[in-house]
């Protein structure tokens, strides 16, 4: 019971921390570097989310559960020290939103009025629910299919981190999000997940995970960067909170479903099902974008305008400078 209460407290703290921390990135650097900083922050956040559980699994097998929790707690000292040493006079603060009633509702309305954000949220929700449960699928594949133990399971995450690290370095070089990378990342993630599901050996499965890590992080980074650079500053925190809730909440809701598929139909189907859903979602989004040729991402100063025309032809656009 104490463990459940601790997990609940960590979840509540994360719900406050993640959106605020991500929205703060644009205040740390100047206008010329915000695109790269947002991309690098999104990449590092998602890379830790993908590789962290696997690294923890290796450490738990090596030194035990308790010491790993202590190491994780000690790691926050570096974060606290970095925040303490920040020179606030050199920040680029945005105008904070005025406090008042109905701010959460306003955030929902803002997202609903932005077809580009709706598209991103739907894709992120499907990817999070069906494609991001690597801690479940890798464990099933390692033990049930390849007959390996906890160390080999942990190694899968480390190998996958090669792909996520590559995506991180590529994201840091980009000046802004590209629509083709967002859609290509989703389609590529679905395709390579399907390839991994039919891998005949442990090492071929591990090799496929490198490409899964590369494409999944490319998709997640493109989503995060598009949101951060296209949303009005006064809405950025609320929209990011909704995005994190959709992505991480979907992963939590999808884990039992993925586990049930693995139990009822086999470990390979738990991987393949996620790949099929993500691939179909990416292809459907591609068809939607192709039919609505006015959908663009344009870099204007500090903001990205990601536009989908309405059926009347007048267009529904995100905020512009």
Read off the pLDDT of residues 137-147 as tens digits, 9 standing for 90 and up: 999 999 999 99
Instruction: State the residue for tokens 């955030």.
Output: 107
Q: Which residues contact 31 (CB under 8 A, 6 or more apart)?
A: 92, 301, 302
Phi, psi of 316 (to 5 degrees): -120, 120
Q: Which residues contact 34 (CB under 8 A, 6 or more apart)?
A: 25, 26, 229, 302
**Nearest-5° Cα angle at 215, 211 to 219:** 170
| 3-class SS shares of the chain: helix, strand, coil, % to 5 | 80, 5, 20
Residue 151, number of CB atoms within 10 A of its CB: 12
Q: What is the CA radius of gyration of the chain?
A: 20
Q: How far apart are CA 177 and CA 6, in angstroms?
A: 37
**Nearest-5° Cα angle at 7, 69 to 228:** 95
pLDDT of residue 46: 65
pTM equals: 0.77
DSSP assignment string, 164-208: HHHHHHHHHH-SS--HHHHHHHHHHHHHHHHHHHT-SSHHHHHHH
pLDDT of residue 21: 72
pLDDT (tens place) for every residue of the chain, 321 residues total: 666 677 677 777 776 777 777 667 777 876 677 667 777 776 777 677 667 776 777 788 788 888 888 988 898 898 889 888 888 887 777 666 666 677 778 888 888 888 888 999 999 999 999 999 988 999 999 999 999 987 788 788 878 888 887 887 777 776 666 788 899 999 999 999 999 999 999 999 999 999 999 999 889 888 888 887 788 878 888 888 889 889 888 888 899 999 999 999 999 999 999 999 999 999 999 988 887 655 444 433 333 344 444 344 434 444 333
Q: How far apart are CA 31 and CA 303, in angstroms?
A: 9
Q: Which residues contact 309 (CB under 8 A, 6 or more apart)?
A: 292, 294, 295, 315, 316
Any idea where the domains of the chain sit in the sequence?
Answer: 20-85+114-307
Instruction: State the residue for tokens 């925190």.
Output: 237
Domain 20-85+114-307: homologous superfamily in CATH: MFS general substrate transporter like domains (1.20.1250.20)
Q: How far apart are CA 217 and CA 103, in angstroms?
A: 31
The residues pairing with 297 across neighbouring beta strands, listed in sequence order, are 306
pLDDT tens-place string over residues 81-130: 988 888 888 777 766 666 667 777 888 888 888 888 899 999 999 999 99
Q: Which residues of 185-211 are buried (b: 16+ CB within 10 A; e: fewer)?
A: bbbbbbbbbbbbbebeebeebbbbbbb
Phi, psi of 274 (to 5 degrees): -65, -40
């Amino acid at each position: 019971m104490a463990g459940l209460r601790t997990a609940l407290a960590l979840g509540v703290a994360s719900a406050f921390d993640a959106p605020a921390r991500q929205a703060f990135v644009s205040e740390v650097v100047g206008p010329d570097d915000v695109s790269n900083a947002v991309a690098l922050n999104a990449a590092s956040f998602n890379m830790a989310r993908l590789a962290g559980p696997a690294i923890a699994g290796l450490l738990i097998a090596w030194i035990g559960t308790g010491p790993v929790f202590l190491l994780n707690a000690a790691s926050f000292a570096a974060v606290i020290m970095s925040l303490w040493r920040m020179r606030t006079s050199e920040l680029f603060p945005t105008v904070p939103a005025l406090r008042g009633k109905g701010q959460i509702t306003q955030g929902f309305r803002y997202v609903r009025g932005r077809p580009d954000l709706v598209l991103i949220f739907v894709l992120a929700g499907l990817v999070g629910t069906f494609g991001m449960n690597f801690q479940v699928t890798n464990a099933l594949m390692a033990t049930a299919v390849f007959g390996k133990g906890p160390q080999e399971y942990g190694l899968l995450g480390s190998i996958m981190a090669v792909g996520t690290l590559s995506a991180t370095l590529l994201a840091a070089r980009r000046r802004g999000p590209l629509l083709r990378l967002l859609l290509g990342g989703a389609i590529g993630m679905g395709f390579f997940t399907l390839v991994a599901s039919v891998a005949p050996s442990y090492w071929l499965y591990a090799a496929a995970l490198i490409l899964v890590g590369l494409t999944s992080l490319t998709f997640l980074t493109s989503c995060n960067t598009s949101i951060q650079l296209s949303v009005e500053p006064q809405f950025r925190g609320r929209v990011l909170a909704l995005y994190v809730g959709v992505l991480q909440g979907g992963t939590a809701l999808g884990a039992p479903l993925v586990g049930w598929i693995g139990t009822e139909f086999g470990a390979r189907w738990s991987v393949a099902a996620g790949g099929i859903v993500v691939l179909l979602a990416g292809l459907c989004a591609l068809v939607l974008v192709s039919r609505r040729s006015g959908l663009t991402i344009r870099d204007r100063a500090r903001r990205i305008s990601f536009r989908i025309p309405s059926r009347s032809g007048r267009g529904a656009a995100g905020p512009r400078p």
